[in-house]
Amino acid sequence: MTSDVEINEYCAKIEMWTAGVVTVGKKGTLIAEVRAESVVVKGGEIKGPVTSRGPVTLEKGSRIFGNITAPSLAIVESQHLVGMIVTGPRAAELLAEIEASMPPKPAPAPGKAPSAKVA
C-alpha cells in the first residue's frame, strides 16, 4: 500500500504496511505489525510492533503495546508504552543486531500447545 491510512475504529490485521502515514484516531484500535513512512497515534491504541522510516508521534491518551523502531519518537505526557524503543538514524540496523544476538525461542513439544506464564 502506498497511501495514508487512518484508523478510527477497531481494526485487526496480521500486518499494516504502507509507504504513507498511519494515523490511529482517538477511538481507533489497531492490532497489527505496523510498517510505515511515519506513525501518529492521536489518543488511540496500537497492539503490535511499530517500524517507521520517519517519526512516531504519541499524542495525549495514546497507547502502544509493542516494540517501536524509528529514527525519532515524540511522546506527549501521560502516555502508555509497553515495549522496547530503538531510535536514531540506524534504528532498523540496531534492532536487527539486537534480535540476531538473542537466543532462539524454543519450539513447543510436539502435540502440546505452548503454555503462558502468569506473573
pLDDT tens-place string over residues 80-95: 888 888 888 777 777 6
Kindly state the average pLDDT of the residues 58-70: 93
Is residue 116 domain-resident? no
Is residue 108 domain-resident? no
Is residue 112 domain-resident? no
Write out the three cell numbers for 5. Answer: 491510512
Domain that holds residue 76: 5-96
Number of domains in the chain: 1
Is residue 17 domain-resident? yes
pLDDT band, very low/low/confident/very high, at 29 (cuts 50, 70, 90): very high
Is residue 106 domain-resident? no
Q: Poorest-confidence range of 40-44, 48-52, 78-82?
A: 78-82
Return the pLDDT at 84: 83
Is residue 119 domain-resident? no
**CA–CA dist 56, 75 (Å, integer):** 9
The pTM of this model reads: 0.75
* pLDDT surpassing 70 at residue 78: no
> Using H for helix, E for strand and C for coil, what is the string for 29-86?
EEEEEEEECEEEECCCEEECCEEECCCEEECCCCEEECCEEECCEEECCCCEEECCEE
More confident residue, 51 or 102: 51
Output the average pLDDT for the chain. 84
Is residue 19 domain-resident? yes
Is residue 105 domain-resident? no
